[in-house]
Amino acid sequence: MATTHPPKDAGEAHLGHVVFISAAAAMGGFLFGYDSAVINGAVTGIQKHFEVGNGETAFVVAIALLGSAGGAMTAGWLADHLGRVRTMLLAAVLFAISGVGSMFPPTIQVLALWRVVGGVAIGIASVIAPTYIAEVAPTAYRGRLASFQQMAIVLGITVSQLANYALNEAAGGESTGHLAGIQAWQWMLGVETVPALVYGLMALAIPESPRYLIAAGREDEAREVLREVEGEGVDLDARTAEIRAVLQSTHKPRLRDLLGGRFGLLPIVWIGIGASVFQQFVGINVIFYYSSFLWQSVGIDESNSLLISLSTSIVNVIGTVLAMTLVDRIGRKPLALAGSVGMAISLGVAAWAFSFREGTGDTATLADSYATTALVAAHVFVFCFAFSWGVVVWVLLGEMFPNRIRALALSVAASAQWIANWAITVTFPDLADWNLSATYVIYAFFALLSIPFVAFCIKETKGRTLESMG
């Protein structure tokens, strides 16, 4: 069947409405970013309050990521059976419950349990937002609208770091200091309940995905949504018929539908997994989960380390804005290549600077010149990641898979991302104690390896309709 394209002016006329819909869906990304990064400011307080070492702390930080992998794996099934909007509501409820529970944990084991609940919500949000946005966005704007997910994530990270710093300062510069009888690190973890409630309310205000509605036999509703997002000028009969034809030629995806090819899974699924793993193996979340720990390990005090965490989050926002302006203009692949080169260089410089660290543990120091070099390199690394892999991977995962397996394949790729994230997160404290410089050499190696991966494995998706993706 010939592919139909909505008139560009129709998309522009309804862009404001589509922007609101995409922003509401991406609110899950805000919570994803907040919940992921808020632990950065709470790490020191958790260690002191529960009197635990790096091993137990790493476990509590990383355990949420296993929950995220589980949430991402089930999100595709939930999206196909409950619908995209109801799945968002479920994630909002889990975020809220996790926030309250994490605020008042009697033991570190109970805190870990609530972190898992929050992790499941993160995993669901990481899948459902790009899936939904890709399905409602007009083709001409899909890349920029899909970028809302990453923008929401980095805003969530930034707000969490701002909240961490403000709460820490209000408590006298100590995360174990008290505010209204509650320690600052507890407030840090509990504040996410507020955006969780906002996410739930916004999810109630947006329409269901037209592709889900057509799959469920609710074509009248689907036509109305298509009119809202693609404009009065679009041929609704043709668009509905196009989507229906694709859906009728397939069946509900199962794991066996992802199988095929020489190495078990379909090549496109392996590419999605590879993109997800590379995104994490460059060590980006060390900056967002452990930056306060990282900078304290080279002699910077807790308050200043949280301020540095905030500054890197702001750089992250700037890079993401740049990516949003470029992703539909120059494409996904050029951005990813440029980012890989920049990350490899900046991580290499950081590794060199950290090689001059003297001492270990609380007595470790780094001379001012090398500390400045490491700080600049870390900020450049975050910027290069933000304008490339931070946005591009989520855009690609929402676009690159054929319709018949999109939700399930995205779930598998996102699960791989969370497992890779967990591996980096759980190993960093011990690796940093062993050799901080060598740890960054490893991250630089993966950034370097991502260059041929992008060059030879990634196909450009700019300007293509979802129905044309195989």
Average pLDDT over residues 104-113: 94
Q: Is the pLDDT of residue 3 over 80?
A: no
Q: What angle do CA 92, 224, 213 make, to 5 degrees?
A: 55
Write the pLDDT tens digit of every residue in 140-154: 777 677 777 777 888
Average pLDDT over residues 38-61: 85
Kindly report the pTM of this predicted structure. Answer: 0.73
Task: Please give the pLDDT value at position 10.
Answer: 43
Q: How far apart are CA 306 and CA 315, in angstroms?
A: 14
Question: Please, which residues have CB within 8 angstroms of residue 445's CB and are 6 or more apart in sequence?
Answer: none
- The larger pLDDT score, comparing residue 207 to residue 65, is at 207
Q: How far apart are CA 1 and CA 247, in angstroms?
A: 13
Among 227-236, 323-332, 440-449, the range of highest mean pLDDT? 440-449
Determine the distance from the C-alpha atom of residue 192 to the mean position of all C-alpha atoms in its chain, rounded to a whole number.
16
Asked if 353 and 377 touch (Cβ cutoff 8 Å), the reply is yes
Average pLDDT over residues 87-111: 94
What is the average pLDDT score of the chain? 84
Q: How confident is the model at residue 361 (pLDDT cuts 50, 70, 90)?
A: low
Task: Please give the pLDDT value at position 418.
Answer: 81
Q: How confident is the model at residue 425 (pLDDT cuts 50, 70, 90)?
A: confident
Write the pLDDT tens digit of every residue in 198-227: 999 999 988 998 888 888 888 888 888 888
Average pLDDT over residues 431-445: 92
Find the range with the poorest average confidence among 69-83, 90-104, 400-414, 416-430. Answer: 400-414
Find the range with the poorest average confidence among 8-22, 74-88, 171-185, 345-359. Answer: 8-22
293: nearest Cα among 64, 37, 41, 53? 41
Q: How confident is the model at residue 276 (pLDDT cuts 50, 70, 90)?
A: very high
Q: Is the pLDDT of residue 56 over 90?
A: no
Write the pLDDT tens digit of every residue in 371-423: 889 889 999 999 999 999 988 887 888 788 887 777 788 878 888 888 898 89
Q: How far apart are CA 414 and CA 193, in angstroms?
A: 24
Give the rounded percent of residues in the chain with a pLDDT score beyond 70.
90
Average pLDDT over residues 291-305: 73
